Homo-oligomer: A and B are copies of this chain.
Amino acid sequence: MADAKKGRIRAEKSQKILDAAEQVFVQFGYKGSSLQAIATVAGLPKANLLYYFPNKQQLYNALLMDIVTRWNKNFTEITEEDDPAKTLERYIYAKVEQAIQYPNASKIFATELIQGAPNLNEYLRTDVKNWLQSSCKIINRWIAQGRMAKVDPEKLFFLIWSSTQHYAASETEVLILMDKTHYQEQDIKQIHQFLCQMILTGCGLKPSR
């Protein structure tokens, strides 16, 4: 068998295990998840997991890396020349979409934060912090230029993050209270529109509709 094919098979199996791990880790957290449970979901014997990943911790780390990679795609660069209203609207849309379409990623991220971010500390102190700092600078310039109301940019991003991730992390509560069993396509638009009305107006900007 060619190396390329071997690599592909390995990648596919790894992915299958990661998918199962995601489901289980969401439900029980890191410590509460057993390899047995993950193996059962993946439809494999327990020992097979440890052939693909050296141990539980590194399986979890691989999963987190997967999630963080997807996450980073939404940390798009904001530049001074951009239109404040359009930029915020687009960013909020990306976050809502992410929360609805990949709730497990948001949930695992949220669990990490709740438990003190034992595995995300570096990521928070570097990637997230840098992105936030440069983005806040842009917001402050927009404010200085009179292009939007004076608001604390840091708290503005916290607001966008929390209000969007809520639909993932608190999915269970939201669905119960909305009398639904799952989100629908239109929910993304409605949530987006609501949040834009609130947040943009609060920033002294006009939502596009």
Contacts and interface: CB of A to CB of B under 8 A. Distances in A.
Contacts of A111: 29, 111, 114
A111 B31 CA distance: 14
Contacts of A71: none
Interface string A170-191: 1111101110000000000011
Contact of A31 (B32, B110, B202): B32
Contact of A177 (B124, B165, B195): B124
Identify which of A29, A33, A117, A128 gathers the most chain B CB atoms within 10 Å of its CB. A29
Given A32-B28, A110-B114, A115-B27, A124 B173 contact: yes
A151 to B, nearest CB: 7
How many A residues touch the partner, as a band? 35 or more
Identify which of A111, A125, A171, A173 gathers the most chain B CB atoms within 10 Å of its CB. A173
A154 B177 contact: yes
Number of copies: 2
A49 interface: no
A202 to B, nearest CB: 3
Interface string A97-125: 00000000001001101111100010011
A109 B124 CA distance: 23
A36 B27 CA distance: 22
A169 B110 contact: yes
A96 to B, nearest CB: 11
A169 B107 CA distance: 12
A119 to B, nearest CB: 12
A117 B170 CA distance: 9
Contacts of A27: 115-116
A78 B39 CA distance: 49
